[in-house]
């Protein structure tokens, strides 16, 4: 199906413009705009989303404008001005310098591309569609037409109905708090720089979404206990915080709360700030806890086994992990900038497990799934104890045989040790779809690898 054609609006005359006829319209509007004439013609550049060309923009750029100027305009339009500078690629396929005047780089018909990662991956296609004899009066580059579709939409791929509902709710929350969010981020950029503003964006927006979404509180009802719960239960679970995110989270949130108070949006700013600062030490400890990332890694590596990744192929294993984390974070898996930045974050945090460790983790995950679904979560600790003991045995028994049968036997053995009823143990066979005799035989086999404990039964 061909991409739908979405019209735009001329920012000079405020009339609707069809994308197909945009060049003629812009030439006519600029001719009557009263803008000053230049010694060299300005360039008319169309910018559109690679995923969704219905998100588009036409700008007029002076010949002495640079790619750095164009980057600033793109980031302002597509990502609210925050994030690191992106990369332009011309027809040669190589990145080019950002300080070279556009008049020396581009001419009518030149097509090029742009990529950056400002919270979400941005991939755009650009083309010089013509020239104009006038100069933008106030800046080197100026937008003259933009599509009626929100430009941010081009960052997002197809979504499931559930994802669409969640994004709609998040958009509504961010729209409601947009003035205060923008004011806070602009202050961060002005006082601390672009990178600080990018980090602040990754702090403030999730905080707002958690507070208004899962916790279900309108902004005016925010209080200290809620803010503390959000910080420790939600924010601390960030799987891959960027450099500076953890140590800046509470200070940034306190400045954001102050901004909300100045706007009259919240009543208990002092209580919220006190709760956030009081919980900062616990937050930092939770956010940097290696166990948090270990659990995520364990689940991803188990998925890798299920996907047929060879556990002895260390490069393939890391590539799978990176791909899954990128998708989990909602970023563009094809964006090399995203992959490089994520690799920098992951570097040093991930120890690739051995094949035996991956096998043990997969077996334990199956056990935990049984405990969760059958309403006996406490049994998961006993299963974990048994898996650790079996994995540590020199004979490495978990590396041989069927993983599901191992899981069933471990759950059954843990049920025996915990003194659960016959009915509870009977659930094991039904859940795993195995004969009780087979499970019991495996239990007898596994107990041979365990240290002898008083009261243990075969």
pLDDT along the chain (458 residues), means of 10: 60 83 91 90 90 82 91 72 65 64 90 70 84 90 77 41 52 73 89 86 85 76 92 81 87 95 91 95 87 66 71 72 63 58 58 72 85 83 91 89 90 88 74 86 92 52
Could you say which DSSP state residue 373 is in? H
Nearest residue to 441 via CA among 418, 412, 420: 412
Same structural domain, 249 and 197: yes
206 occurs within a structural domain? yes
Same structural domain, 125 and 80: yes
Both tokens of 440, joined, read 């019991």
Angle, CA of 231, 235 and 237, to the nearest 5°: 125
Collapsed DSSP state (helix, strand, coil) of residue 73:
helix
**Centroid of chain to Cα 446:** 42
Same structural domain, 147 and 165: no
Both tokens of 78, joined, read 């597509």
209 occurs within a structural domain? yes
Same structural domain, 195 and 177: yes
Last residue of a domain, one of 301, 329, 346: 346
Same structural domain, 393 and 371: yes
Could you say which DSSP state residue 177 is in? T
**Which residue segment(s) compose the domain that 282 sits in?**
161-287
Q: Give me the pLDDT at residue 168, please.
A: 56
Residue whose token pair is 């998040």: 170
Same structural domain, 14 and 87: yes
H helix intervals, 351-421: 355-373, 379-392, 403-417
Could you give the CA distance from residue 304 to residue 314 in angstroms, rounded to a whole number?
12
Last residue of a domain, one of 322, 346, 370: 346
Q: Give me the pLDDT at residue 289, please.
A: 80
Same structural domain, 238 and 136: no
Collapsed DSSP state (helix, strand, coil) of residue 118:
strand
What's the structural domain count of the chain? 4
444-452: long-range contacts (C-beta < 8 A, 24 or more apart)?
Answer: 445/397, 445/409, 446/386, 446/390, 446/397, 446/406, 446/409, 446/410, 446/413, 447/413, 449/389, 449/390, 449/393, 449/395, 449/397, 450/386, 450/389, 450/390, 451/389
- Rounded to two decimals, the pTM is 0.46
Could you give the CA distance from residue 157 to residue 153 in angstroms, rounded to a whole number?
8
Last residue of a domain, one of 139, 155, 171: 155
297 occurs within a structural domain? yes
| Cβ-proximal residues to 300 (8 Å cutoff; 6+ apart), any chain | 320, 321, 324, 325
Report the half-sphere exposure of 142 (CA within 13 A, side-chain side): 17
Q: Give me the pLDDT at residue 1, please.
A: 34
272 occurs within a structural domain? yes
């Amino acid at each position: 199906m061909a991409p739908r054609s979405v019209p735009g609006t001329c920012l000079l005359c405020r009339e609707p413009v069809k994308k197909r006829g945009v060049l003629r319209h812009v030439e006519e509007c600029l001719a009557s705009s009263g803008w000053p004439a230049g010694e060299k013609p300005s360039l008319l550049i169309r910018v559109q989303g690679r995923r969704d060309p219905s998100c588009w923009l036409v700008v007029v750029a002076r010949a002495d404008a640079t790619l750095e100027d164009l980057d600033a305009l793109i980031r302002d339009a597509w990502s609210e001005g925050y994030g690191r500078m992106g990369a332009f690629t011309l027809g040669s396929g190589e990145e080019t310098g950002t300080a070279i005047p556009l008049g020396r780089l581009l001419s009518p018909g030149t097509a090029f591309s742009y990529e950056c990662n400002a919270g979400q991956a941005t991939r755009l296609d650009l083309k010089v569609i013509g020239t104009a004899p006038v100069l933008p009066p106030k800046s080197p580059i100026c937008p003259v037409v933009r599509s009626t579709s929100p430009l941010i939409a081009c960052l997002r791929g197809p979504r499931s109905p559930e994802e669409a509902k969640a994004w709609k709710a998040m958009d509504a929350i961010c729209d409601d708090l947009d003035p205060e969010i923008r004011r806070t981020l602009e202050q961060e950029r002005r006082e601390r720089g672009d990178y600080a503003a990018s980090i602040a964006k990754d702090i403030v927006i999730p905080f707002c979404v958690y507070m208004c979404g899962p916790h279900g509180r309108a902004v005016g009802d925010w209080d200290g206990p809620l803010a503390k719960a959000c910080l420790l239960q939600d924010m601390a679970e960030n799987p891959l915080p960027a450099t500076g995110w953890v140590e800046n989270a509470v200070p940034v949130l306190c400045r954001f709360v102050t901004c909300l108070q100045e706007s009259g949006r919240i009543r208990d700013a002092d209580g919220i700030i006190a709760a956030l600062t009081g919980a900062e030490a616990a937050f930092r400890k939770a956010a940097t806890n290696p166990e948090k990332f270990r659990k995520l890694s364990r689940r991803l590596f188990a998925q890798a086994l299920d996907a047929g990744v060879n556990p002895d192929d260390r490069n393939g294993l890391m590539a799978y992990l990176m791909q899954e984390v990128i998708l989990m974070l909602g970023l563009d898996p094809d964006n090399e900038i995203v992959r490089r930045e994520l690799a920098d974050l992951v570097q040093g945090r991930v120890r690739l497990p051995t094949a035996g460790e991956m096998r043990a983790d997969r077996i334990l995950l199956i056990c935990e799934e049984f405990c969760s679904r059958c309403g006996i979560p406490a049994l998961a600790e006993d299963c974990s104890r048994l898996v650790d003991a079996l994995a540590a045995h020199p004979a490495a028994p978990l590396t041989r045989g069927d993983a599901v049968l191992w899981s069933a036997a471990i759950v059954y053995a843990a049920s025996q040790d915990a003194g659960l009823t016959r009915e509870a143990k009977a659930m094991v066979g039904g859940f795993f779809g195995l004969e009780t005799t087979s499970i019991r035989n495996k239990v007898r086999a596994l107990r041979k690898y365990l240290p002898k404990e008083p009261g243990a039964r075969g």
